[in-house]
């Protein structure tokens, strides 16, 4: 299985409201000096590969199914972020993830 196997069409629903930062709270970026968004994306690619290739622990029954479902969800999440185009401008990190099927005319280049 690879990231091109992911199909996340119809992602919807209401997003939870974001809490406003506390007055005087430090930015996440100040806590991570030298942050490189490309390095972050590369780490998510590595995480996706680690989930994809990890072995199945010796579990049976419903617990085995839950483990497999969680592994698929972890892989999907990590692979999507690993495939993202990232941009950090004026302290705003933007992840652009094209979820259209490859044959739907999305940007290939």
pTM greater than 0.85 (yes/no): no
Q: Model confidence over 52-72: pLDDT tens digits?
A: 999 988 999 999 999 999 999
Q: Which residues are 87's β-sheet partners?
A: 94
Q: Model confidence over 86-104: pLDDT tens digits?
A: 999 988 999 999 988 888 6
pLDDT of residue 12: 43
**Residue 14 to residue 24: CA distance in whole angstroms:** 29
Q: Model confidence over 9-63: pLDDT tens digits?
A: 334 444 455 555 555 556 666 667 788 999 999 999 999 999 999 998 899 999 9
Mean of all residue pLDDT scores within the chain? 78
Coil/strand/helix, residue 85: strand
Share of the chain above pLDDT 90, in %: 51
Domain boundaries, the chain: 33-102
């Amino acid at each position: 299985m690879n990231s091109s196997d992911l199909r996340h069409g119809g992602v919807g629903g209401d997003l939870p409201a974001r809490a406003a930062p506390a007055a005087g709270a430090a930015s996440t970026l100040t806590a991570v000096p030298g942050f490189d968004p490309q390095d972050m994306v590369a780490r998510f690619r590595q995480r996706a590969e680690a989930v994809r290739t990890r072995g199945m622990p010796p579990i049976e029954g419903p617990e085995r199914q839950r483990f497999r479902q969680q592994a698929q969800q972890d892989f999907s999440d990590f692979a999507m972020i690993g495939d993202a185009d990232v941009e950090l401008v004026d302290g705003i990190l933007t992840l652009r993830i094209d979820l259209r099927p490859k044959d739907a005319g999305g940007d290939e280049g």
